[in-house]
Amino acid sequence: MPQSVELKLNGTMIELPVIEGTEHEMALDISKLRAKTKFITLDPGYVNTGSCKSAITFIDGDKGILRYRGIPIEQLAESSTFVEVAYLLIHGELPRPKQLTGFSQRLTWASMIHEDMKTFFSGYPAGAHPMAILSSMMGSLSAYYSGDDDYKNPKQMDLVIARAIAKIRTIAAFSFNKSRGLPFVYPEADLPYCANLLNMFFHKPTRPYHIDPEAVRLMNQLLILHADHEQNCSTSTVRLVGSSEANLYAAISAGICALWGRLHGGANQAVIEMLQRIHKDGGGVQKYIDMAKDKNSDFRLMGFGHRVYKNFDPRATIIKKACRRYLEHVGADDDPLLNIAIKLEDAALADDYFAERKLYPNVDFYSGIIYRAMKIPTNMFTVMFAIGRTPGWIAHWKEMIEAPEFRIGRPRQIYTGPVERDYVPISER
């Protein structure tokens, strides 16, 4: 591969260095292009733009490959835990036993939120979307832990990381408890992360929650599958907000907002709502396949398609298998929404429109059916995604602020508005 390529612009030859990643992805370094030529590059939606170098996650969208720090997602989902994967993403290596114990302990110690914050939950209207609560409560952590921002101090870095991962779960659980008019359930010191999460969601003083190992295993799997996905919309948001040196809680709060949209993490809620709509409509899928193909309709098949995967989404393959296993385990394998999802997937995969555009089920297509079987309500699905994605957001933020080339993110634009003109006083308009 050449070290650089030449670009001829206005009669001048410019040399653009070639950058090659460890998996042989190629890029042209255009960082000096404007300084040398006054040209910028234009790429709406960043379809073709690399915003950074990163050693965290590798995706080959044509082959359906996803690896965290080099380790295939299939192996992690099968054998690891969410906490171990969080450590791997953030620190670059699987933890040794002592490191894992230390990390888990920090998560336990950091899992409470300030007691005063509990009063916030009463300020939201009944029916408030839990993503609205989650984003504002995460941002509010900056008010309570404002001294956490000496990120060059490794101890402070460890503490702020533990606080973010541990407290997002507590906030999510408290907002769930509150939405059902139930008392807050505190984290237990001797429960691992996912068992604790389920307990905080479902334990009632009058009806103790029996921790089902199968549900714990599945929760670990789901959070692992959501833990990182390189430069997606919310992670890029976390990087951009963090690049102004805003604190980590503020950056994560912004990431939660970016995740909320139905084209990104909000798709898991949108999938179930779509399947419910089809169910109400008699269960026939062809009408909805036709609507998704119709350019005059704004209906899209939610849970289908991906900017990067043009073959299959390996997370969807794992989730589909896990979904069947768990539904059988809890005796919910006759869920009509599961049958509609399978019919919809089969019909879409057999249709030229979807084949030509390489549209396959993504991570969100089956995850909602599992959450439903776990008795997690639809409007909490994207919150679950956010809990899972938090270690990925942190890993990217940390990688960015520690990189030698760290600087504020600031894209350029091509201005297309009016050229200079005079102000007209209101009496003359």
Of 76, 57, 77, whose CA–CA distance to 68 is shortest?
57
- Tell the smallest beta-carbon distance from residue 126 to ligand CMC (Å): 28
Using the contact rule CB under 6 A, the part of the chain among 16-24, 124-132, 207-215, 295-303 near ligand CMC is 295-303
Q: Is 264 in the site for ligand CMC (CB under 6 A)?
A: yes
For the chain, the first-to-last Cα distance in angstroms comes to 61
Q: Is 357 in the site for ligand CMC (CB under 6 A)?
A: yes
Residues 84, 96 contacting (CB under 8 angstroms) = no
Question: Residue 19: enclosing H or E segment and its boundaries?
Answer: strand 12-20
Question: Residue 222: enclosing H or E segment and its boundaries?
Answer: helix 213-226
Q: Is 114 in the site for ligand CMC (CB under 6 A)?
A: no
Active-site pick, 229, 264, 364, 396: 364
Q: Is 256 in the site for ligand CMC (CB under 6 A)?
A: no
Using the contact rule CB under 6 A, the part of the chain among 162-170, 187-195, 203-211, 362-370 near ligand CMC is 362-370
- Tell the smallest beta-carbon distance from residue 161 to ligand CMC (Å): 23
Residue number, 72 or 261, with CB nearest to ligand CMC: 261
Paired residues of 207 in beta bridges: 204
Of 208, 211, 214, 207, whose CA–CA distance to 197 is shortest?
211
Residue number, 389 or 398, with CB nearest to ligand CMC: 389
Residue 306 falls in the annotated catalytic set: yes
Using the contact rule CB under 6 A, the part of the chain among 4-12, 143-151, 300-308, 392-400 near ligand CMC is 300-308
Residue 6, burial from CB neighbour count under 10 angstroms (0-12, 13-18, 19+) = exposed
Residues 227, 66 contacting (CB under 8 angstroms) = no
3-class DSSP state of 141: helix
Site string for ligand CMC, 214-233 (x = CB under 6 A): ------------------x-
Residues 187, 111 contacting (CB under 8 angstroms) = yes
- Tell the smallest beta-carbon distance from residue 363 to ligand CMC (Å): 5
CB within 8 Å of 240: residues ≥ 6 apart: 409
- Which sequence positions are flagged as catalytic? 306, 364
| Chain residues that interact with ligand CMC, rule: CB under 6 A | 45, 232, 263-265, 267, 292, 300-307, 357, 359, 362-364
